[in-house]
Amino acid sequence: MSTIPSDLKYTKTHEWVRVEGDTALVGITDFAQQELSDIVYVEITALGKKVKQSEPIGFIEAVKATSDIYAPLSGEIIEANPQINKKEGDAPAMVNRDPYGLGWLCKIKITNPDELASLLDHEAYANLVQRSQHH
Amino acid sequence: MSKTTPFYPRHLAAGGKMVEFAGYQLPIQFRGIIPEHHRVRTTVGVFDVSHMGRIKVWGRDALQFINQMTTNDASNLAVNQAQYSVMCYPDGGIVDDLVIYRLPDHYLLVVNGANNEKDTAWLREHLTGDVRLENVTTEVAQLAIQGPKSEACLQKISSIDLSPIGFYWAAEGTVAGVNVLISRTGYTGEDGFELYIPAEQALKVWDAVMAAGKEFEIEPIGLGARDTLRLEMKYCLYGNDIDQTTNPLEAGLGFVVKLDKPGGFIGVDVLQQVAREKPRRRLVCLETENRAIPRPKLTVYANGDPVGFVTSGTLSPSLNKGIALAYVQREFASVGNKLTIELRGTRHQVVVVAPPFYKHGSRKK
């Protein structure tokens, strides 16, 4: 079973968001990292850019597949996790080991706080995961 | 409803992440694709390959039949010897790749799980003379034990001395008291064995193998690592690298195509022509310089023009870079040739390298 912390917000595309003031910390969920399995490379391609909600901001390479990362909120991508965005070693595997902690992906400076209401809470996200597991 | 193999309860108990593959519930991974891959390269791992199709062929004309249906020459096989081969359509396209065993009183054809029904029907359609055929897939379980420590592990519970068994040879013996066929085969590039086990005794053998391998940190290995291991060796995967639209000569499988075999085989005329004119494209090994991973169906470019496409691609856990198989036009297929692929809008350089990608396997000659 995957972990779904109750103090985070979620997207339908399996990102999580932790709001700290006007900044959103973004990662992918435990369910998403399990689905992807061994993550070997992460790149935030939209670093420094202003992006709209749901636009691609980067991608994750796992051994079996590549997956896009989507902006959970509109804003400016102000930081990528320097411990993850490494091209060598097993640093990207931190996303597998600690998806809600050291494996965070990027920070977004929020430009439209109203969008927070459109994100899923942990119960709604848990329902979504349950449905994807039974398809 | 998908089927299960006899080892299914052990996959669940070991925490396997189950997926449907070739109609069966099989583990894609247990601990993780990369650690499982390294386990096979360094010590020993166990694969459930019971989804493979197993077809028994016997009768007075069995050899002639097999020679007609497959591209390699089965008449060279000694008793207990195995042979890698290919079945072709009349147009040279590939029906399947397979392993043929000559056993004391019959032949055993081991085919890809996803092709089992298709292959059985194809073989039945062409039956002539005194040939009998029986699909024994469900009666027999198949377990692969692969890695440099596989002999040391299996010897502990085997009734026969394994050291004299050469690569692509087999012997009958008991493992954990169960009568099995033990063959020195596998698809990982490492030394290893495949066991053919009566299905009802499968769990007994699994448990004994796992106990015997404990000192070598034996682990069950999922389909994910099976794919990265075989790809590092440039072993073809049916459905990705070979299929009915490809022929064995362009796929680099010419070493199992005996074009002047007496009596020929289905597809020989077309393949002789391909050999004369040389294949217009080749299945080549491509390496990236970093962790950019080429995925199947990506276009391969030379000087900006499309010249081919990727059929398999992954991160090589052993080499820590992207590797891929791709069909490219013959003039761009030479080792050292620099080509490009496009990933998410960025062109990445790839270079044609000599097979296999991984050159340090423990496979016995």
Q: What is the pLDDT of residues A17-73, one digit of tens each?
A: 999 999 999 999 999 999 998 999 899 999 999 999 999 999 999 998 899 999 999
The answer on pLDDT for A84 being more than 90 is no
**What does chain B come to in residues?**
365
Q: Which residues of A touch B (CB under 8 A)?
A: 34, 37-38, 40-41, 45, 59, 61, 63-66, 87-88, 93, 96
- B270 touching A (Cβ < 8 Å): no
| Rg of chain B taking only CA atoms, in angstroms | 20
Determine whether the interchain pair A63/B314 forms a contact, defined as Cβ–Cβ distance below 8 Å. Answer: yes
Tell me which residues of chain B, numbers 12 to 31, contact chain A at a CB-CB cutoff of 8 Å: 17, 28-29
Residues of chain A found within 8 Å of residue B296, distances taken between Cβ atoms:
none
d(CA B125, nearest CA chain A) in Å? 37
Please return the burial class of B365, using the count of CB atoms within 10 Å of its CB with bins 0-12, 13-18 and 19+.
exposed
* Closest residue, chain A, to B289 (C-alpha): A87
d(CA B224, nearest CA chain A) in Å? 7
Confidence at residue B365, expressed as pLDDT on a 0 to 100 scale: 65
Determine whether the interchain pair A61/B291 forms a contact, defined as Cβ–Cβ distance below 8 Å. Answer: yes
- Beta-strand relationship, B140-146 and A23-28: unpaired
* Closest residue, chain B, to A85 (C-alpha): B291
Q: Where are the alpha helices (DSSP H) in chain A?
A: 30-36, 94-97, 122-134
The three-state secondary structure class of B122 is helix
d(CA B345, CA B341): 10
d(CA B143, CA B185): 11
Task: Give the single-character DSSP code of A115.
Answer: G
pLDDT band for B363, please (50, 70, 90 cuts): confident
Q: What is the mean pLDDT of chain A?
A: 92
| Of B28, B293, B320, Cβ closest to residue A61 | B293
Number of H helices, E strands in chain A: 3, 9
Task: Give the single-character DSSP code of B158.
Answer: B
Confidence at residue A134, expressed as pLDDT on a 0 to 100 scale: 61
Determine which of A88-97, B29-38, B147-156 has the lowest per-residue pLDDT on average: A88-97
d(CA A45, CA A36): 19
The whole-number average pLDDT for the span B81-89 is 98
pLDDT tens, B254-284? 999 999 999 999 999 999 999 999 999 999 9
Strands, E, within B118-189: which ranges?
132-135, 140-146, 170-175, 178-183
| Of A59, A63, A87, Cβ closest to residue B33 | A63
Confidence at residue A135, expressed as pLDDT on a 0 to 100 scale: 52
Task: Give the single-character DSSP code of A47.
Answer: T
